[in-house]
């Protein structure tokens, strides 16, 4: 008899709440989020403006602290960790892709990508091998010696993606990664992320307002008023069919194509 083991949960959130402001005048943004992300998933987070999606991403990604609840990354509970412990978790387990690239102008593409490796114990040879593989996959190998000011927005975002992946994180957080890109550059980046997710089993959690971006995911979670409203699984559907399902769910939410 074959025993199928369920994939390991890379990320678990239990009863996560987030409030801003003082007790008497607190604004509750997240109102009890329960969420599991399995190894190898590509999860999109969507919702109308003010639904709490960016707050959720920042809280899960250790950028912000939850007011209440527990968050586990690879079985490490991050909710109560001190800053130096969180720094170690980020270095060892996490990669980040932001809308505005966050590249250092004074470093070349290659130096930007290799930056996270300088904080780890990876050898120079191993780092070079990994750089070659990732930059080849993302189509930016020939840009290695160029500076951010000399490349396009799409190339900057693929550089940012390479930097997020270079140290082989178990979990990559992407915050509106296509927000500043034209449709062709966005499609290229999303195709790259999908391929990396499939071939390297890198787990990706992406906040986006764009149904086209979400259609590359294996699952999309919809937030409304700080709670999980619904979720869709792609399964065996084509990307086109899944895209239509996402649009239908957005119409139900009444959030349209808002950020």
- Distance, in Å, from the CA atom of 231 to the CA atom of 157, rounded to the nearest integer, reads 27
- Distance, in Å, from the CA atom of 5 to the CA atom of 185, rounded to the nearest integer, reads 38
Provide the pLDDT for residue 1.
Answer: 52
Residue ranges of the chain with per-residue pLDDT less than 70: 1-6, 255-259
CA angle 45, 48, 52 (to 5 degrees): 60
- Distance, in Å, from the CA atom of 197 to the CA atom of 176, rounded to the nearest integer, reads 17
In whole angstroms, how far apart are CA 223 and each of 44, 59, 204? 11, 15, 18
In whole angstroms, how far apart are CA 58 and each of 64, 71, 205? 5, 12, 11
Bridge partner residues of 19 (DSSP) = 28
Provide the pLDDT for residue 3.
Answer: 54
Q: Which fold has domain 9-20+27-253?
A: Rossmann fold (3.40.50)
Provide the pLDDT for residue 259.
Answer: 39
**Phi, psi dihedrals of residue 251, rounded to the nearest 5°:** -65, -40
**In the chain, where do the E strands start and end?**
9-20, 27-38, 42-46, 68-73, 76-77, 94-98, 171-175, 203-207, 219-224, 227-233
- Distance, in Å, from the CA atom of 213 to the CA atom of 178, rounded to the nearest integer, reads 8
């Amino acid at each position: 008899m074959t025993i199928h083991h369920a994939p390991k949960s890379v990320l678990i959130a239990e009863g996560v709440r987030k409030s801003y402001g003082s007790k008497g005048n607190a604004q509750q943004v997240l109102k009890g989020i329960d969420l599991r992300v399995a190894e190898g998933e590509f999860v999109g987070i969507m919702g109308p403006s003010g639904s709490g999606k960016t707050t959720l991403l920042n809280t899960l990604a250790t950028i912000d602290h939850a007011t209440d609840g527990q968050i586990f990354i690879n079985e490490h509970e991050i909710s109560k960790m001190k800053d130096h412990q969180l720094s170690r978790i980020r270095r060892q387990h996490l990669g980040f892709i932001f809308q505005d690239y966050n590249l250092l102008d004074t470093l070349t593409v290659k130096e930007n990508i290799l930056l996270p490796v300088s904080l780890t114990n990876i050898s120079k040879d191993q780092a070079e091998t990994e750089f070659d593989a990732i930059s080849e996959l993302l189509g930016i190998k020939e840009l290695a010696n160029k500076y951010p000011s000399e490349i396009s927005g799409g190339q900057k975002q693929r550089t940012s993606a390479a930097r997020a992946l270079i140290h082989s994180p178990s979990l990559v957080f992407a915050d509106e990664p296509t927000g500043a890109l034209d449709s062709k550059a966005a499609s290229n980046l999303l195709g790259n992320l999908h391929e990396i997710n499939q071939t390297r089993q890198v787990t990706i959690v992406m906040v986006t307002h764009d149904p086209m971006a979400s259609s590359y995911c294996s699952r999309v979670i919809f937030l409304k008023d700080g709670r999980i409203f619904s979720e869709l699984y792609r399964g065996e559907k084509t990307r086109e069919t899944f895209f239509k399902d996402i649009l239908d769910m957005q119409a139900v939410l009444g959030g349209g194509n808002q950020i």
